[in-house]
Amino acid sequence: MSKKKLVFSGVQPTGNLHLGNYLGALKNFVSLQKEMECIYCVVDLHAITSFQKPNELEDNVFETVASFLATGIDPNKSIIFNQSSVSGHAELAWILNCVSRIGWLNRMTQFKDKAGSDKEKASVGLYIYPNLMAADILLYKASHVPVGADQKQHLELCRDIAQKFNNDFNCEGFFPLPEPLIQKNVSRVMSLRDGNKKMSKSEESDYSRINLKDTTDEISKKIKKAKSDSEPIPQSLKGLEKKPEALNLVNIYSELSKSSLDKVLNEMSGKEYSFLKTKLAELLINEITPVGKEIKKLLNDKPYLKQVLKKGEEKANIIAEENLKNIREKVGLI
Ligand code: TYM
């Protein structure tokens, strides 16, 4: 049984990465590099479960790699690659499609959200998306998976699939059961317009999110316009119950200022939200605009980005092929 600590995570190349991706996932990706071997994947096969224009998909793959690098993922420490360049993902996904159960997939809330009211029209790929995600993780026998809270259910499914494979093929411990690593306060960064919805690339209004490439001006405007509360900032978290937009702003501020929620409320209670917003905009500008500038700079050097992906692909393929050889053997595929 492999007891090695190995991190795997993925990000879809579907356009602008935002503050939710950054606080919920990317920042954690960067800090984990110090402790463990890490594999970070641009999951283009996941992206095409909803139609993507081919040239936009290609641009978005580069932009996602540039975002990985700009936030501090080091290609000399971590493996960075594009999912479709390692064919083992698709092959293992097929095997796991035969292990995973329809009843399990029927419970996936993200499919229900994404497919909307007309499920009959959703792609089959979107439905079996969580099996591909399990394949991504198990292909490398990853032990830890840093993600935002929205991916928790998919991770639980991955553990169920791994366990069933180990049972079915009588190989206890063959696939490790991966541990989700979910940030505490910022596991779900919410929309700046509606505190009950998570911040997402797909929400129509750009004012709902801070994009990593936003300028100083855009960040200031978006925070100024963000929904908050007409009452002053309360003394304790209890006062933020039923005020999801205000809670979201306080949470983001607490994370960026590295102060606990209690400390932030202590300092700010009685003040108007405009006070918090001014300070929050400053912190965001300091943290996000250098990342955005670096993304734009890196996007002007496609040969470098291609080189990073190529090197990652080669390293990922070596691990994937070795593991797939053993997986095929377990299943009885000659
Ligand atoms: P994706 O591309 O939607 O998002 C990438 C990462 O960002 C996190 N995230 C958030 N965290 C906090 N607040 C938010 N508002 C927010 N929005 C997004 C996501 O949880 C994720 O960690 N299915 C995955 C990609 C994937 C994957 C994998 C992840 C494919 N294979 C294997 C881990 C392991 C997804 O669609 O992430």
201 assigned to active site:
yes
Residue 117 domain-assigned (yes or no): yes
Shared domain for 143 and 281, answered yes or no, is no
Q: Which of 201, 221, 279, 315 is catalytic?
A: 201
Domain count, the chain: 2
* Residue with the two structure tokens 């993600």: 147
pLDDT per position as a tens digit, 207-217? 999 999 999 99
5, 114, 152, 330: the catalytic one is: 114
Has residue 59 been placed in a domain? yes
248 Cα: distance to centroid of ligand 1 (angstroms): 19
Ligand 1 contact via 60 beta carbon (within 6 Å): no
Q: Is the C-beta atom of 28 inside 6 A of ligand 1? A: no
199 belongs to a structural domain: no
For ligand 1, whether the C-beta of 108 sits within 6 Å is no
Do 163 and 42 share a structural domain?
Answer: yes
Active site (annotated) includes residue 243: no
Look at residue 87 in the predicted model and tell me its pLDDT: 98
Residue 192 belongs to some domain of the structure: no
227 a catalytic residue: no
> Which residue in the list 141, 198, 222, 227 is annotated as catalytic?
198
What pLDDT does 3 receive? 66
For residues 233 and 321, state if they share a domain: no
Residues 292 and 314 in one domain: no
In angstroms, what is the span from residue 325 Cα to ligand 1's centroid? 29
> Please, which pLDDT band fits residue 115 given cuts at 50, 70 and 90?
very high
Establish whether residue 133 lines the binding site of ligand 1, counting it when its CB lies within 6 angstroms of any ligand atom: yes
Q: What is the mean pLDDT of residues 175-181?
A: 98
The pick from 71, 89, 151, 251 for probing ligand 1's pocket by mutation, whose C-beta has the most ligand atoms within 8 angstroms, reads 151
Q: Would residue 193 count as lying in a domain? A: no
Does residue 46 sit in the same domain as residue 129? yes
Q: How many helices (H) and strands (E) does the chain have?
A: 14, 5
pLDDT at position 15, please? Answer: 87
Note down the domain range covering 244.
206-296
Q: Are residues 135 and 223 in the same domain?
A: no
- Binned at pLDDT 50, 70 and 90, residue 4 comes out as confident
CATH number at residue 325: 3.40.50.620
pLDDT band at 1 (very low <50, low <70, confident <90, very high): very low
User: Tokens in use for 315?
Assistant: 């390293």
Does residue 70 sit within a domain? Answer: yes
- Same-domain status, 124 and 171: yes
139 token code pair: 């292909």
3-state SS record for 150-163: HHHHHHHHHHHHHH
Residues 55 and 168 in one domain: yes
What confidence score (pLDDT) does residue 169 get? 98
Residue 231 lies in a domain: yes
Residue 145, ligand 1, Cβ within 6 A = yes
Instruction: Give the mean pLDDT of 160-188.
Output: 96
CATH code for the domain of 267:
1.10.240.10
Nearest CA owner, ligand 1 atom 29: 10
Q: What is the number of alpha carbons within 13 Å of residue 16 lying toward its C-beta?
A: 18
Best residue among 113, 150, 208 to mutate for probing ligand 1's pocket (most ligand atoms within 8 Å of CB) is 150
> Residue 137: CB within 6 Å of ligand 1?
yes
Same domain, 27 and 142: yes
Of all atoms in ligand 1, which is nearest to the CA of residue 186? 12
- Give pairs for 157-161: CB < 8 Å, separation 24+: 157/100, 157/104, 157/105, 157/108, 157/130, 158/130, 158/133, 158/134, 160/100, 160/104, 161/96, 161/99, 161/100, 161/104, 161/131, 161/134
Cα of 137 from ligand 1 centre, angstroms: 13
**What does the pLDDT look like over 62-113, one tens digit per residue?**
999 999 999 999 999 999 999 999 999 999 999 999 999 999 999 999 999 9
Using the predicted structure, report yes or no on whether residue 7 has a pLDDT greater than 60.
yes
Kindly give the distance from the C-alpha atom of residue 12 to the centroid of ligand 1, in angstroms, as a whole number. 7
Q: Give pLDDT, residue 185.
A: 84
Residue 153 and residue 20 share a domain: yes
Q: Is the CB of 198 under 6 A from ligand 1?
A: yes
pLDDT at 203 over 80: yes
User: Do 164 and 287 lie in a common domain?
Assistant: no
Same domain for 291 and 307 = no
**pLDDT > 70 fraction of the chain, expressed in percent and rounded:** 99
Does residue 201 sit within a domain? no
Q: What is the mean pLDDT of residues 152-172?
A: 98
Residue 242 CA to ligand 1 centre (angstroms): 26
| DSSP conformational letter for 39 | E
**Ligand 1, closest atom to CA 18?**
17
Partnered with residue 80 across adjacent β-strands are 40
Q: Which long-range contacts (CB under 8 A, 24 or more apart) does 115-121 make?
A: none
